[in-house]
Chains A and B, each alone.
Chain A
Amino acid sequence: MKRLLAFLLLATTALLVAPGTSLARLPYPTNFYDGSQWLRIQAVYTPAAAFGADLEEPVDLQVGPDDKVYVADKKTDKVVVLGTDGQPIRTLGDEEDGPGKLSGPEGVFVTSDNLVYVADTGNQRIAVFGADGAFVREYKKPETTLLASQRFVPVKLVVDRRGVMYVQTSSSYQGLLRMSQDGEFMGYFGANKAQQSVLSWVKKLILNKEQLAKETPNLPKPITNVSIDQDGFIYTSTGGDYGKGAIRKLNAGGVDSFKNKTLEHGHGIVDTAIDKEGFLYNVDMDSARVNIYDRNGKALFAFGFIDNNTQQYGVLGFPTGLGVDSKYNIWIADSRTKTIQKYARTEFGSDVLSALVLYMDGKYEESKPYWERVDARNEMYTGIYQGLGKVYLHEGKYGDALDYMKEAFDKDGYSKAFWEVRLDWLQNHFVGLAGGLVAFFAVVTLGVRWLRKWLGRKKFSEFWSKQLTDLRTFGFTMFHPYQGFYKLKETKVSPLVTILILVAVLLVKILSVYETGFLFHPVDLSQIDLVRELEFFVLPWITWIIANYLVCSVKDGEGKFREVVQGSTFALMPYLFFSVPLLVLSNVVTLDEKVIIGTLTSVMTLWLGAMFIVMTQVIHNFDFMETIKNSAITVFAIGTIWLFGFIVFGLSYNLYDFFYQLYKEVSFYR
């Protein structure tokens, strides 16, 4: 089983690979993204072939409407057209000098009526060829004063349905140059935003104009590649270490419908392509994978590899362009191996992607057979649970839907299913529920009444009656904080009661960690680090006590340390009071009614805050403004204590680590 270690490592780190991964498999693993991590899955795409086609330096690739593959070959000054079988059909670009001769073309685009637009980089123009391969026309630099000082060196381009060209010129940061069919300049489109760093902000703040002028200007990164989909959305990709908005899906108005999001595996994008279903494909140098995303830019699958010294089908050397044909084959131009690599969808891949398409279109019923076929081959893929969950929801199998949505950690779906399940349950058990509730309240009221009576009659020893009084004060304080805390100031609360309250609070906290409803705490319970959860609950409270006591002593507060502890304990009453109903509610309400939980939580928080402030005021005998001021200082002191704590902890950890490494050095190395 340890052999698989290597594969797990592969899934996480693409850079380090154990040699001798000896399992008989494809030259790359396939992974799916489950929302937080990449997990293994069987192949979605397999390498189909690689074609040499006498290419010297393929730098861009475009699949035409008739599935022919157009490759811009920079070195041979040609655009090579390949058939679906990968065999060259013809080349564009004349041998002899003339208008049809290309020079170092770096980009190619094919329109729906088979016109081929070539970014003829060396000749600083755009050349257009007809479907028969004959030169048709050219576009030189648009004649406008706006571009007077600039050179026109097109590298990548797309053309929309109206014949408007979107051209990326060599390392231009202004965005895509828009040109009409007649070659008129129509402005720039879709420029990247300049990345603002804290440093540049500080510089702007403190440097004067002359100094600023000397700084290297903070320019937006140039767009590296551009694609267009059937609906006319324009996708710009930006390579390099550019996480946010590395792929933008722009409408005609230049608005990014991916909302500048950071894509998984999107830090070194070379090129994108969009299939007829609207799914997005990219090849990414940083993760060294080929990736598939859904229409919203959510990562689905990753496969393939990039390796400088590749000798294998499916492993790319230096990918430069990517295209998808109508049969979903992926074509990638690789300038290191001087080949075009082709990947074909597997049966499994075709099932899972068809299911996803139908799912995204809301055709849940139609998606069912696909999901079932995927489910028969793979139970690990999280999408199945979401997909089949939706199917079951649609079919009215709410119980199953509930389980599946929970498995997929899909809160919205779970909420919907839960709403139905709850309705069903209520309809069947309404009488029982109402009866149960009535009975419960009756028992509670009667019980409380009886308890009071019993307490009134029973004579307690001095010790026990003291405890009872303290407990009553605890309850009383919640609704009458001023009076309650004032009472506290004079009495010495028995330690037993303090401990009892604190234990009760801890128990409630633990309960809320483990028993809060799935919708409001969607985590895998076995992975909860209880100590950590409690640490972040208890430590603030303890530091509050220390800080409050210290600060208020300095500020002439009257409170003794004991009183601060007592007060801070009693101030926790709202937490105890609200948590139990919150816990119950979280298991009963759906997301539609989450406002109840939200409101209750806010009330609880405000109440807790008020309690602590009142406590400070009463115990230290401050006036109101003093209280606010000193509470603020207390919070600041808490921050200081924590900072100090972190530093001490950090340093001692370093020391520990030093000795540990030394130990390891001695024991593992010679």
Chain B
Amino acid sequence: MYQGEAWKPKPGADGFALALENESYALYIRPDDTQIAVVNKRNGYRWTSNPTEEQLKEEKTKGLPLQNLKSPFALVFVMTQGKDQTIRDTLNVSSPKMEVAMIKNDKGVQISYWFPEKKIGLAIQYELTTQGLKVRVPTDGIREEGEFVVFTLDLLPYFGAATSKEDGYLFVPDGPGGLIRFDSEQADISRGYNHEVYGSEITNMANYTRSGERREDIAYPVFGVKKGDNAYVAVLTQGGDSANISAMPPGLKTSFYNVNSNQIYREEYLYQVSRLSTPTKANQKQRLDRDREVEYRFLTGEDAGYVGMAKSYREYLKANGQLTQTLKPVSHAPMYLKIFGGNFREAYNRIQYVTATTFPQATEIVKSLKDKGMTNAKVIYYGWQDQGDYNMEKRFPIEKSLGGDSEAKKFVSEMKKENIDVIFQDDFSWIDSASASSGKNNAIRGIDGTAFDGYGWYMAKPEKTVREAYDTIDKLKDIGVAGIHYNMLGEVPFNDYDPSGIRTREYTIDAYKGLLDYTRKQLGSASVYRGNAYAVGSVDYIDYFPNESSYDFMIGETVPFYPIVLHGYVPYSFDEGNLRNNVEDEFLKAIEYGAIPTYFLTYKDSRDLKYVASWLFSSQYEKWADRLVKEYKDFDALSGLFSQTIVNHEKLTANRFVTTYEDGTKVIVDYGNKSFKVEKGGGA
């Protein structure tokens, strides 16, 4: 919190007063309603926190939506006591008796709001950077002195809002990147986009009761707006994992398109008084106590678009130390070969391990593929634990029917001779009912204080995960394993509502990142699924990288934002070549988005795994060998691009897309005739 004397500026003719200024930008604030405006001094473009009076002339909404439209924030408050906790109401600058205090120092401006009727207050700080504007809501600035408390906060909800007549789009972090064009026809059947960064909380049972929702969780806390030749990309730099990204089409609340961060301070959850009663809705008591900061980075000209946004976000990750150096060039593209050892099945009176690929058979698979022309590969081996996934805590000795420790060692050393790393897949987050440790001490807690329990499975506290993994790493080191492919670490951070105090997602993320770094140090590599933004600096490979949209009505176009950010820094792959819904199109998408190939193979027929891994519907390696090698050769032709960043991506026609790399190489993919071609650039 800033301290100092009150700042009482004199507004100019338009009602705004100059607050901050640096070489590139100037920040203006209206003292009366605290609206802000940022002027880009290079081209004079003015971004405003709210639509101008002129724009509002045609606005038809009344009441609260109109008030919000004129406010730099909208704060939803609730009660955490009493029978009916579902009542929500909103505070904004039009709320009665609001008191405003402003402080200015050499860092920035702080505006404190106080609502005496509800006894709630908050403070917003603005700073200018060389890239643009930083907006911060310090947790110390939040005052909850009565029965009402903060639920969520929409921060600058209408910053850069646009009408459907303007040219441009909203950018939302759906899958690899989603665009909502202002002239979109589909937006009118949508009811907006409002999703939590990194997915909704698994600890909140209320999130389970919706039927059927299946979507791409947000993997990076970024959103943006493009209007004509100007754009901004906003990065949730602090507390982003406890926020929603919210976008609205016109016609729902107002007649504007808008996108903003919706900061979550409390969640509503279902509280079960007794086993028989229906659960009642209640609000989380303790606040998620974290500073929130959003950095708006302004872009102009050619950079005003999703490619520019991606580059700007990449710069942010670099400046932040998350992305350090580009990958080393390779002579051949790496193939990630997943091999399924097997898994358990409950048979009569015993646990039956169904074997799909033993270690010697795995050797045979790799060697035969190598003979056919797969020149560079890494192997990820699944199901090696004693009895597979039965008893998640018992891993050693390595499953006997696969060959046990000795065959595992032999396999790893055979592969070493071929210059192939062997990585073991494992899960240290889920603990099943066969495990020894008790849920009371090791499981994370839901908001209602009970252990999070998914049908007899529970989610380990991060420290438990780390402890288990450390033990395993020591043993895997002896075998010669070159890394661990982690389930969950790159996908699902969570809050732990431990009775002793909430550990937020930040804590989980720190623990997970520490584990990833330790794994790299000890074994050589660590990899994850999905690759949420917090993990990208700590992994050597990302699997099931976001590549498809959530099929939202609202999102008209899917673009490779996240691939542009990471290509050349972290290798990533999409779904396995043998498990695609659409074989050709998904292959082409992998080429377009610069992914590396991956296959999921077994030695035996996958039919044997019908009751073990029914999702592995076709994996017998001989069946796929030819297709795999053919695809590998296609990917290998692009091996020169492995360590390069993507500099541009364009849609040529409805079916043709071009991706341009650092050295000028263009990869043109045509979904119409199912082909792609490469135009070598000057540097190649």
Chain A interface (Cβ within 8 Å of chain B)? 1-5, 7-10, 14-29, 39-43, 46-47, 50, 52, 288, 305-309, 311-315, 337-339, 346-348, 376-381, 407, 526-531, 666-670
Contact = CB atoms under 8 A, between A and B. Distances in A.
B529 interface: yes
Contacts of A23: 544
A529 B346 CA distance: 11
B214 A27 contact: yes
B107 interface: no
A185 B190 CA distance: 46
Instruction: In the A-B complex, list the 7 residue pairs whose CB atoms are closest, starting with the nearest.
Output: A305-B212, A20-B199, A2-B430, A313-B551, A526-B347, A669-B450, A19-B207
Interface stretch (B7-15, B53-61, B362-370, B602-610): B602-610
Size class of the contact patch on chain B: 35 or more
Given A315-B212, A529-B348, 9 more contacts: A1-B427, A2-B430, A3-B488, A14-B211, A26-B551, A306-B211, A380-B614, A531-B349, A670-B449
8 contacts: A2-B429, A22-B199, A311-B191, A380-B610, A531-B349, A667-B438, A667-B439, A670-B499
Contact of A40 (B189, B213, B451, B614): B614
Contacts of B199: 19-20, 22
B449 A3 contact: no
B45 interface: no
B615 A40 contact: yes
Contacts of B352: 526
B636 interface: no
B421 interface: no
Given A380-B607, A669-B451, A22 B530 contact: yes
A18 B202 CA distance: 7
Q: Tell me which of A5, A20, A43 has the highest count of chain B C-beta atoms within 10 A of its own C-beta.
A: A20
B212 A288 contact: yes
Given A377-B617, A526-B347, A668-B440, A20 B491 contact: yes
B454 interface: yes
Q: Tell me which of A2, A14, A308 has the highest count of chain B C-beta atoms within 10 A of its own C-beta.
A: A2
Contacts of B547: 24
Interface in B448-490: 449-451, 453-455, 457-458, 487-488
Interface in B349-381: 349, 352
Q: Tell me which of B209, B210, B581 has the highest count of chain A C-beta atoms within 10 A of its own C-beta.
A: B581
A284 to B, nearest CB: 13
Contacts of A26: 214, 551, 581
A23 to B, nearest CB: 6
B188 interface: yes
Given A23-B544, A668-B440, A3 B491 contact: yes
The DSSP consensus for interface residues of chain A is: loop
B382 interface: yes
B617 A379 contact: yes
A527 B581 contact: no
Given A22-B217, A407-B607, A7 B615 contact: yes
B211 A305 contact: yes
Nearest to A304: B212
B551 A306 contact: no
B491 A17 contact: no
B440 A667 contact: yes
A377 B544 CA distance: 20
B618 interface: yes
A665 to B, nearest CB: 9
A531 B443 CA distance: 35
Contacts of A312: 215, 550-553
Nearest to A532: B348
B305 interface: no
A523 to B, nearest CB: 11
Contacts of A5: 430, 454-455, 457
B554 interface: yes
A653 B199 CA distance: 41
Nearest to A21: B214
A315 B552 CA distance: 10
Contact of B186 (A15, A42, A52, A315): A52
B541 interface: no
Contacts of A288: 211-212
A41 B551 contact: no
A378 B618 contact: yes
A2 B212 CA distance: 19
B575 interface: yes
